[in-house]
Amino acid sequence: MFTSHEPAASVAVHTSYDGSNVVYRMLRLETWGPALMNLGYYPFRGPFATLNVVVNLELAQRQLVMKSLKLLGVKPEHHVLDLACGRGKSSFIIHCLHPGTTVVGMDLLDRNIAVANALFDHLPGLSYVNGDVTNLQFADGSFDRMLCLEAAFHFPNRAKFLQEAYRVLRPGGRIVVVDFAWKTEAHRESLDDPETRLVREIWQWDDFFSIADYEHAAVEAGFKIKSTHDWTSRVSTPIQAVFRCLSNLGNHSWGRRFLEWRNPLYRSISPADWKALDEAVHAHQHVRNNSNYMVFVLEKPQ
Ligand SMILES: C[S@@+](CC[C@H](N)C(=O)[O-])C[C@H]1O[C@@H](n2cnc3c(N)ncnc32)[C@H](O)[C@@H]1O
C-alpha cells in the first residue's frame, strides 16, 4: 500500500538528517543517532538556560515526548498514529507506556522507517510505515489519537496536513501538534533575512505558520482547540543557549580541549565546522527571536 514518498516532498528533508550540516553533526555526537530526533525539553529556564549544557540530551528528548504524551491522553484500547515518527522511538515509547494500544509510526524517509523496523521489531501492536503525513493512506476515522512532534515545519502545506489529520481521526479523537510558529504575522517579515535563509536551508522548510495561522487552520479543518501551550522557554531557548555555549567554547583552543575531554568524539569537529556552527548559532538565534515553540491540542468534535 505504501511506496517511498521521498521524491514527492518539495523540500529535501533528508539533508536535515544525513550529516551534511554541522548542526546535525553536533547533535549526532551527543545522541541523535538511532534515537529520538527532537530538541528536548529542559529543566533550566531564563538566565539559567546555559546550565542545560549538563543535561543529557537523550533524557531531555524523552522528556519532550513524555510531556507531549501527557497532553495526548492515550488510553489502553486506543489506535495511535505517530506522524513523522523519525526513527520510531516515540512510537516505541507510546507502545511501552500504554500496553494494549495499537501504534503506527509513519515517516517520509524510508531510511528512518528501516531504522525503526530494525530497532523496534517483533512487538505486537507496533508497526511502521513509510509515507507523507500530508497525504494519509488511511480510511476516515481510523485513529483515536495522533501525535505530530516537531515535524510540521517541514510540511509544504500545513493546512492540508490538518485537514488530513481531521479526516483520519475518529470523532472525539485528539491530535497534539508540536511545532515552531511565528510569534505574530509581523514576525514573518524575517522569512527572507539571510539568517532565516540559512536556518531554512539547514532544516529544510519554506515557511512557518504563525500561532494565529495554526489556530485558524485548525478551526477551518473542523477541530476544536482544547488548549495551546508555549514551550519556548523549555525547548528552543535552552537548546539555543546550549549551542551558544558549545560554539563559544569551540572558538577557543582551551574550550575545544575541554569539549574533547568531556566527549572525545568532538575531535571529529574541524575548524571549518566550528566556524559554520558559529554562523548557524547566530542564525538560529535570529529565528528564535521571531518564533515560538508551540503545542496545539486539537479535538475532533463528537
Ligand atoms: C525533527 S524530526 C522529529 C522526529 C520525531 N517526531 C522525534 O521526535 O524524534 C522530523 C521528522 O519529520 C519527518 N518528515 C518531514 N516531512 C514529512 C512528511 N511530509 N511526512 C512524514 N514525515 C515527514 C522527517 O523525516 C523527520 O523524521
In a domain, 244, yes or no: no
- Residue 21 is classified by DSSP as S
- Beta strand 291-299 pairing with 169-182: antiparallel
In a domain, 254, yes or no: no
Asked whether the predicted pLDDT for residue 147 surpasses 50, the reply is: yes
Mean pLDDT in residue range 175-199: 98
- Residue 56 is classified by DSSP as -
pLDDT-based confidence at 282, cuts 50/70/90?
Answer: very high
Cell numbers that stand for 118 in this block: 530494525
In a domain, 274, yes or no: no
Cell numbers that stand for 301 in this block: 468534535
Asked whether the predicted pLDDT for residue 3 surpasses 50, the reply is: no
pLDDT-based confidence at 2, cuts 50/70/90?
Answer: very low
Our mutation pick for probing the ligand 1 site, out of 32, 106, 150, counting the most ligand atoms within 8 A of Cβ, is 150
- Residue 77 is classified by DSSP as T
In a domain, 291, yes or no: yes
In a domain, 246, yes or no: no
Judge if the beta carbon of residue 211 lies within 6 A of ligand 1: no
Element (H, E) at 295: strand 291-299
Question: Does pTM surpass 0.85?
Answer: yes
Our mutation pick for probing the ligand 1 site, out of 108, 110, 176, counting the most ligand atoms within 8 A of Cβ, is 108
Asked whether the predicted pLDDT for residue 89 surpasses 50, the reply is: yes
Number of structural domains the chain divides into = 1
pLDDT given for residue 12 in this prediction: 86
pLDDT given for residue 21 in this prediction: 87
pLDDT tens digits, 153-178: 999 999 999 999 999 999 999 999 99
Mean pLDDT in residue range 35-55: 90
Say how far apart CA 1 and CA 8 lie, in whole Å: 16
Task: Quote the ligand 1 centre to 86 CA distance (angstroms).
Answer: 5
Domain that holds residue 200: 6-237+279-299
Our mutation pick for probing the ligand 1 site, out of 41, 63, 81, 107, counting the most ligand atoms within 8 A of Cβ, is 107
Top mean-pLDDT range of 32-46, 108-122, 229-243: 229-243
- Give the C-alpha distances (Å, rounded to integers) separating 216 from 64, 107, 113, 189, 226: 25, 26, 32, 19, 14
CATH number of the domain residue 180 falls in: 3.40.50.150
In a domain, 123, yes or no: yes
CA-closest residue to ligand 1 atom 7 = 37
pLDDT-based confidence at 17, cuts 50/70/90?
Answer: confident
Contact between 297 and 149 under an 8 Å Cβ cutoff? The reply is no
Task: Quote the ligand 1 centre to 84 CA distance (angstroms).
Answer: 4
Asked whether the predicted pLDDT for residue 8 surpasses 50, the reply is: no
Residue for grid cell 497532553: 71
Judge if the beta carbon of residue 103 lies within 6 A of ligand 1: no
Mean pLDDT in residue range 278-294: 97
- Beta strand 209-210 pairing with 126-130: unpaired
In a domain, 264, yes or no: no
Judge if the beta carbon of residue 68 lies within 6 A of ligand 1: no
In a domain, 292, yes or no: yes
